[in-house]
């Protein structure tokens, strides 16, 4: 049985002296995961920019003046070629991202279902992040072969309205519920470095830790401060905060894949090594996230060699039953 954490307990974990916290998290990691194995996911922006939402961190929101160029939904053949490249590069999962508020039941959705089928048939786990979905849409994605759905809580319930006003926390939780009901695996995490308090970081982990089953995957993003967004002046988040956040996530979500997500380009190899030691066991690889740069693939493989990490194979048994 997974423990029901209180916010106070999670705060105590977060505030543990750093080296002790890393050691504790490493212990939990060893108990529940193959240490040294890291899931490598490739990201592809299938529809870029022009989004109606007002997420303060996001370069794809239409209302901010960023350098992102709007691009309509990609063609299935193009996406298929990208999947071949990702597979050849060693990725076991491919995540498709669309700058949509929500999925609509139209031809674009049919096209996305086709993309999912095509990538799935190549033996890659397919993940999608398309905004809000209904239970019916989630079911159709599952039938097409989708493995996971990414939908981030991003921050605490209390802080949500300071970051996004065009939807609320319950909308987010509701989509996560729909995704679960459709039998998909859940990927949900958030961002640090947006000016949130430690209580907000803890609050987000608290909500994620209480989901039953707990999410199979939790991405922890360090804000990529993009010019033209309201967050452009945010100072870079200290690596120590990232390590603390990952270690705390590892402890309160023992069986989950914790993903060291956006922001790695500004982290040293030593910093990332501490994140892996603290329980991170998943990354996005490839020189682009959705619209911002990410380390070169070869650079990451060199890091894996130095640290003795190996990429995880696709389709490990679903952990869902154990996450209850
Ligand atoms: N539009 C969909 C949605 O919001 O759910 C899917 C795509 S959206 C870009 C996916 C996630 O990317 C966001 O929830 C956020 O956590 C992350 N993200 C976006 N911009 C970011 C940034 N500048 N730095 C770090 N993470 C970011
Ligand atoms: C997640 O948590 N991080 C990824 C993925 N899920 C979709 C996205 C990061 C985006 C960073 C900003 C950009 O490249 O546009
Ligand atoms: Fe749109 Fe998603 Fe960016 Fe928000 S995070 S503006 S919903 S693309």
The catalytic position among 167, 201, 244, 259 is 259
Q: What number of other Cβ atoms are within 10 A of residue 217's Cβ?
A: 25
Q: What number of other Cβ atoms are within 10 A of residue 297's Cβ?
A: 18
Residue 40 · residue 261 · CB < 8 Å: no
Which of the four pLDDT bands, split at 50, 70 and 90, describes residue 314?
A: confident
For 84, the token pair is: 């071949």
227-251 pLDDT per residue, tens: 999 999 999 999 999 999 999 999 9
Q: Is 82 a catalytic residue?
A: no
pLDDT over 70 for what percent of the chain?
A: 97
The answer to whether the pTM exceeds 0.85 is yes
Question: Which residues lie closer than 8 Å to 125 by C-beta, 6 or more apart?
Answer: 92, 93, 94, 147, 148, 314, 315
Residue 154 · residue 160 · CB < 8 Å: yes
Helix (H) or strand (E) holding 287: none
Query: How many angstroms does the Cα of residue 36 sit away from the middle of ligand 1?
Result: 27
Query: How many angstroms does the Cα of residue 259 sit away from the middle of ligand 1?
Result: 14
Of the candidates 44, 15, 188, the one whose C-alpha atom is nearest the C-alpha of residue 119 is 44
The binding-site residues of ligand 1, defined as CB within 6 angstroms of any ligand atom, are 57-58, 60, 97, 99-100, 129, 131, 151-152, 154, 191, 221, 223-224, 226, 262, 290
Question: Which residues lie closer than 8 Å to 107 by C-beta, 6 or more apart?
Answer: none
DSSP letter for each residue of 174-193: HHHHHHHHTTPEEE--EEE-
Which of the four pLDDT bands, split at 50, 70 and 90, describes residue 175?
A: very high
- CATH code matching the domain that covers 7-323, chosen among 3.40.50.720, 3.40.50.300, 3.20.20.70, 1.25.40.10: 3.20.20.70
46-49 own/partner pairs: CB under 8 Å, 24+ apart: 46/73, 46/74, 46/79, 46/96, 46/97, 46/98, 46/112, 46/115, 47/71, 47/72, 47/73, 47/74, 47/97, 47/98, 47/99, 47/100, 47/108, 48/99, 48/290, 48/291, 49/99, 49/291
Of the candidates 289, 264, 279, 99, the one whose C-alpha atom is nearest the C-alpha of residue 205 is 279
Q: Tokens 């922001």, residue?
A: 263
Q: Is the CB of 262 under 6 A from ligand 2?
A: yes
Helix (H) or strand (E) holding 164: none
4-57 pLDDT per residue, tens: 999 999 999 999 999 999 999 999 999 999 999 999 999 999 999 999 999 999
* Alpha-carbon gap, residue 120 to 113, rounded angstroms: 11
Which of the four pLDDT bands, split at 50, 70 and 90, describes residue 323?
A: low
**pLDDT reported for residue 135:** 98
Q: What residue segments make up the domains of the chain, in order of their start?
A: 7-323
């Amino acid at each position: 049985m997974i423990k029901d954490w209180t916010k106070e307990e999670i705060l105590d974990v977060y505030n543990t002296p750093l080296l002790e916290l890393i050691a504790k998290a490493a212990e939990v990691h060893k108990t529940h995961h193959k240490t040294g194995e890291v899931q490598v996911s490739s990201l592809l922006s299938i529809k870029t920019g022009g989004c109606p939402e007002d997420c303060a961190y996001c370069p794809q929101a239409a209302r901010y003046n960023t350098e992102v160029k709007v691009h309509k939904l990609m063609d299935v053949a193009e996406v298929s070629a990208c999947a071949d490249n990702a597979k050849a590069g060693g990725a076991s999962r491919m995540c498709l991202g669309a700058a949509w508020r929500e999925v609509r039941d139209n031809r674009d959705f049919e096209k996305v279902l086709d993309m999912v089928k095509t990538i799935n048939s190549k033996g890659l786990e397919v993940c999608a992040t398309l905004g809000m979905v209904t239970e019916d849409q989630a079911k159709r994605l599952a039938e097409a072969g989708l493995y996971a759905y990414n939908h981030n809580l991003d921050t605490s319930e209390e802080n949500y309205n300071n970051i996004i006003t065009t939807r609320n926390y319950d909308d987010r939780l509701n989509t996560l519920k729909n995704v679960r009901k459709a039998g998909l695996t859940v990927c949900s995490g958030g961002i640090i470095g947006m000016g949130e308090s430690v209580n907000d970081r803890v609050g987000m982990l608290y909500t994620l830790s209480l989901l039953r089953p707990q999410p199979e995957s939790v991405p922890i993003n360090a804000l990529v401060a993009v010019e033209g967004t309201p967050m452009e002046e945010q100072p870079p988040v200290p690596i120590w905060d990232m390590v603390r956040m990952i270690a705390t996530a590892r402890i309160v979500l023992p069986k989950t894949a914790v993903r060291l997500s956006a922001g790695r380009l500004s982290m040293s190899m030593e910093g990332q090594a501490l994140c892996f030691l603290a329980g991170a066991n998943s990354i996005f690889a490839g020189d682009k996230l959705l619209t911002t740069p990410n380390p070169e693939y070869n650079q990451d493989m060199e890091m894996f060699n130095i640290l003795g990490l190996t990429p995880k194979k696709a389709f490990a048994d679903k952990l869902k039953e154990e996450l209850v």
